[in-house]
Every structure is written in structure tokens, then in C-alpha cells.
Structure 1
Amino acid sequence: MLIVPEREIADLMTRSAAFDAVEKVFAAMASGDAYNFPVIREAIGHADALYGFKGGFDRAGLTLGLKAGGYWPNNLDQHGIINHQSTVFLFDPDTGRVRAMVGGNLLTALRTAAASSVSIRHLARDDAKVIGMIGAGHQAKFQLRAALEQRDFEKVIGWNLHPEMLPNLEEVAAEAGLPFEAVELDGIREADVIISITSSFDAILMADQVSPGTHIACMGTDTKGKQEVDPALLARATVFTDEVAQSVSIGEAQHAVAAGLIAESDITQIGAVINGTHPGRASAEEITLFDGTGVGLQDLAVAAAVVDLAVQNGVAVEVDF
């Protein structure tokens, strides 16, 4: 068995490699060559933690495995480590033997950012100039760095429930040589692309706070009950997702479907746009929305890529197991 420790990931996996892996697996999902297993995600009744498993099998890439982990909200304050903790396990699909164990913390951040940037690449207007961020935590910096590579943005605007965290966004904007402006939620109307990345259980962004032609990537809702946007916004938009079953059960679409504002059949896999079987954006005035629920196959794709890189660079640890 190969082990790729968390400490090695930053020197191995790039944003570009994560983008390629996620784009490829989304395409495989839409063509029926890859599928995810049902998600298990539970409050464990200890340390206020949410813990679960995401897995799947990619026949095209012969990648089989799962990610185990979750969210420990007290980690940063009490233990000095990030709140999201995870590990990816890969198995040989021919024999079932374990192939690799890979640190999943940075990979999770990179694959989540890659998913929203894939949606921007394929759905945002080509002339998008202003990107708006809702949320300014740890993951928001990954999201913004990846997103800024997809269009020639000229300005970053942002809102966060706790404004003292907005310097996280300003830092990334400064790295890219772009101005940053803190705005109230009504000010998000200026954005051509919006990324929401929060842990909210109540709608933050309202339907009338989004301008025609905007692309929205909703990246924070991955559990039953979570919610970042007004369900009426999904009714205004053309809705895309990583996986439809997750979108309607644990994603942002769960609320719009429950309210009868949209149906499951109104949601399209982003992989269909990548494969060219769906046209994607139909006009400059259309609002497009990507419901990024986070699928196990994303984790497996980036983990498999990093294992190959670790072997090439001689940093994979081999153990007899």
C-alpha cells in the first residue's frame, strides 16, 4: 500500500491538475462511465462533529475508493488544526486490495475550488469582469484563486457575516493585482460571477440580488438542511450540478424542489456541458447556477492523480499491508 501524507500534497497537486481531474470525472459521470455511491453523513454526538463517507467508481479511470472525514467546528480554536478533516482510500478495482491512503484536507479544498472553476469555465459569460464572493473563510481563498484563472476579471467584491474575515479575500485579490471592495448583499448585483461558500443553514443571497446574465456557483450546501440562496433564485436560473441525486437531497436544490419551484428534471449535470451534449449557457441574459454538492468521485480523481505524482517524485511511502 502507498501512503501519501498530508504534508506532501502542497508540493504535488496544482490547481491546474485538480481542475483537469475534476473536469474529466464530471464528464465521465455524465456519460455513464463513473458513478457515486450513496453518501453517509451524520452528526456523531461528540465534539459537535459531522462525519461521513463519500465514494464511487470511475470505470474510465479505473478508480475505486472512498473519502472518510467531516467537519469538527472546534478544531481551530481548541486544537490549532483546520475544522475540515479527511482521508482518501483507493482500492484496486480488479482485486479489491487497498492501493493507497492519501491525506485529504488540502485535496478537498483544491477539488472543491476546481468544481466551481469548472462551472465558471463552461457556464459564465466570456465577458465577465466582476467576481463576487459570499463567504470569506478558509475555503473561500481556494475558491477565489481558482476562479480568477477562468476569466479576465477586473474586480473582486465580497460579503461575509463576520466582516473581520474579509481581508482573506482582499489578500487573494491583491495577489492577482485586482481591487477588492467589501459590499452589502445588495451590492452583489454588480457581480458577473458569484461564488457562495459558507456553512449557512439559512438563505443568504436573495433572488432579486442577482443580475441577469450572472453565473452563480453554490459551493457550501452539502448536507440536508444547509442553505445559501433563496429557492426562488433556482427558479429564475438554469440549474446545473455535479450529481442530480445529491443536488435534490443534500444540495442547494433540496429547498427549491421541496417548495415545488423546480423539479429534479430541471437540473442538468455539468458533465453534459463538458461533453457537449448540453449547450450550457443559452444567452447573455440567462442566469446559470451550479449546485456544487461535492461528490466522492471528485476526491478519488484528485487523490489518484496525486498518488501518481507522488510515485513519480519518490515521496510515496510504501508499506506492507
Structure 2
Amino acid sequence: MPIDATLLLIGKDTVETLLQTEDLLSAVREAFVLHSEHAGRVFPVVRERLHTGGIFGIKSGDVASQNLLGFKAAGFWPNNRQLGGEPHQATVMLFDPTTGRPNAILDGNAITTARTGAAGGLGLRQLARPDSSRLCIFGTGVQARVQLTYALRMLPAVREVRYVSISNEPDEGFEAPFRDRCNIELATRCNDAVAVSDVVITATPGGGPLFDADAVQPGTHLTCVGADTVGKRELPAGVLDRAGIVVDDVEQARSIGECQWAPELPCTEIGDLLRGAVQFERKNQDITVFDMTGLALQDLTVARLLHSSALASGMGTTVAWPW
């Protein structure tokens, strides 16, 4: 048995240093296309509530043609806020599919934030009206920030941004990074902010409907991030019925996403759109929804990118991991 085997540890700072936007978008797009082509497998999701009040989950999968195998163990621990920490916690592991030996352990928080932001950006590019100029976002946390960052990148016509905070108070820390790119202000009336917006992004813990269904006007695109567990939702009843629904994975969306509340409705996987297997032409009056639950393949293609980049650049920490 090899006694000189090693394991590469890639922490948060290294992940953030190595993640370049265009490479990240390509890796996430590849994950969706692999899923659409059935070239990559997504294994059943584990998502369980814990006695501590947290939620623990595992998303795993493989791509046989690339010898890519791994999982992300992640969840949500709301009590972390009282400790001054991030409620979302995640760790990604890559394995050698031939031997089962681990190749790398990566900070999953940074990966999850980045790949979810990139997925939202790809969805906006496919589904939102290119001339969208007004955006409403629910949430001011890490995911809200990255979603807004990609929205402003993908939709350069967006100039007016209204945000809804959990405290209903202005959030200077949220506003500051975006002031040079848009006019950003707190929304004091949720329904009014939704009604005048071309794009609505919901990036909250998914505790319940965030606005009334009749606030959503024809022509609106909605990106939904927060529903990723049984019982979670951000959209009110009646919105999905009026919308063209796009998901990352049909079965997963109907199990733990917004589509769990209307599983009978037809929906299209974004990978089918990205590779041209399904044609989509948005009419100006169409309402569209991108229900994002997160694919294991996104974590794996991004982790593979990071692993290769870290090896090439000599970054990360190598530790002995003998058989």
C-alpha cells in the first residue's frame, strides 16, 4: 500500500483567489449540460433536520468519462449568527473513483456561494428580458450579494435596484459595493417593489411567501434561490401557474424546490436550454421562473477546476494521507 499518498486541502482564501468569473461560468454551464446529456449523474439528495436546529445535507454525483466523483456535505445552522458565524456551512470532497481514496477537501461555503451566483447569472441570461432595467431582491446575505453581482453583470441595463431586508432597515454593508453600478435603495413596500420590477430575486432562508401573487406583473422574471428543503418556499401560491418554469433538475425541484408546491406543472431543465435541446423564445409579456435547488454536478465541476488550478499553481496545503 502507498505510504506517500497525500491529500490537498483548499481553504476559503485559496478558493476565492482561484475562482475567476469566466472559468466559473464555464464550469457551471458544463455541469448543467452534463446533466442534460445524462453524462453526469446526480445521486439522491440527503436533507435532514437535526436536533440542534440545524439542517444537514449531502449532494453527490459523478462523471464517469472524466473520472470525477465527489460530494458536498452542507446545511444551514441558524444559531451560528449568535456566534458571529455564517449559518450556511459546506465542505466538498473529491475522490479517485478507481480506488475510493480522497484527492481533495475544499471549502464548500465559497464554492456554494460562487456556483449558485453563476447559476443565477446563467438563468438570467437565458430567461430575463435583455432590456430589464429594474430589479428587486429579497435578502441581504452572502447569496443575495452574489446574485445581485451576477445580475448586474448579465443585465447591464439594470439601473434601479430595490432590496428587502429582514430588519426592514437600510443595510449599509449590502448597499455599498453596488452604489457605483446602480441606484440601490431599501424597499419599504414589498408588493410595490415587485410590481415595478422586471427581475425579482429571492435569496432568503425560505420561511414563507415573500409577497402577494398579484404583485407579479407580465414580463417579470423571478430567480428563486431559498427553497432547497421540504417545506421551504419563497413564492406565493398562484405565481408558478402563470409562469414558464425552468429548473436545474426536475425531480429535485419537485421534491425540495419551489416546484414542490405545484409538482404537476410542466418545467424545463436549464441544461436542455443551454445545449439547444429545447428552444425557448421569451415574449415580452411572459412570466418566467428559475427554480434553483443546486446540483451536485455544479459543486464537482467547480471543485475539479479549483483542484487543477491549485495543483498547477502550488496553492493549497498538502497533508500526508497514507493508505
Contact 1:206/1:230 (8 A) holds in 2: yes
Q: How many residues align?
A: 312
Contact 1:159/1:185 (8 A) holds in 2: yes
CA displacement 1:95-126 (0-9 Å, x = unmatched): 32211111111111111111111100111111
Task: Name whichever of 165-174 and 5-14 sits farther off.
Answer: 165-174
The alignment partner of 1:208 has SS state of helix
1:254: which partner in 2?
260
Q: Aligned pair 1:104/2:108, yes or no? A: yes
Partner amino acid, structure 1, of 2:210: I
Pairwise CA RMSD: 1.6
1:312: which partner in 2?
312
1:163: which partner in 2?
168
1:57: which partner in 2?
62
Q: Which has the larger radius of gyration?
A: 2
Partner amino acid, structure 2, of 1:315: M
Q: Aligned pair 1:217/2:223, yes or no? A: yes
1:146: which partner in 2?
150
Task: Name whichever of 111-120 and 203-212 sits farther off.
Answer: 203-212
Q: Aligned pair 1:180/2:148, yes or no? A: no
Partner amino acid, structure 2, of 1:62: N
1:118: which partner in 2?
122
Q: Say if 1:174 and 1:44 are closer, same or farther in 2 by CA, change over 3 A.
A: same
- What is the Cα deviation at residue 93 of structure 1? 2.5
Q: CA–CA distance in 1 between the matches of 2:225 and 2:65?
A: 26
Q: CA–CA distance in 2 between the matches of 1:294 and 1:300?
A: 12
- What is the Cα deviation at residue 164 of structure 1? 2.8
Matches within 5 A, 1:224-303: 224-257=230-263, 262-263=264-265, 266-303=266-303
- What is the Cα deviation at residue 169 of structure 1? 3.8
Q: Aligned pair 1:2/2:42, yes or no? A: no
Contact 2:69/2:95 (8 A) holds in 1: yes
- What is the Cα deviation at residue 217 of structure 1? 0.5
Q: CA–CA distance in 1 between the matches of 2:202 and 2:65?
A: 31
2:75: which partner in 1?
70
The alignment partner of 2:117 has SS state of helix
Task: Name whichever of 10-19 and 23-32 sits farther off.
Answer: 10-19
Q: TM-score, normalised by structure 1?
A: 0.92
Q: TM-score, normalised by structure 2?
A: 0.92
Task: Name whichever of 202-211 and 102-111 sits farther off.
Answer: 202-211
- What is the Cα deviation at residue 140 of structure 1? 0.8
CA displacement 1:202-223 (0-9 Å, x = unmatched): 1113321112111111001000
Contact 1:72/1:85 (8 A) holds in 2: yes
% identity of equivalent residues = 35
The alignment partner of 2:106 has SS state of strand
Segments of 5+ residues of structure 1 without an aligned counterpart are none
Q: CA–CA distance in 2 between the matches of 1:165 and 1:35?
A: 43
- What is the Cα deviation at residue 302 of structure 1? 1.3
Contact 2:28/2:302 (8 A) holds in 1: yes
1:91: which partner in 2?
95
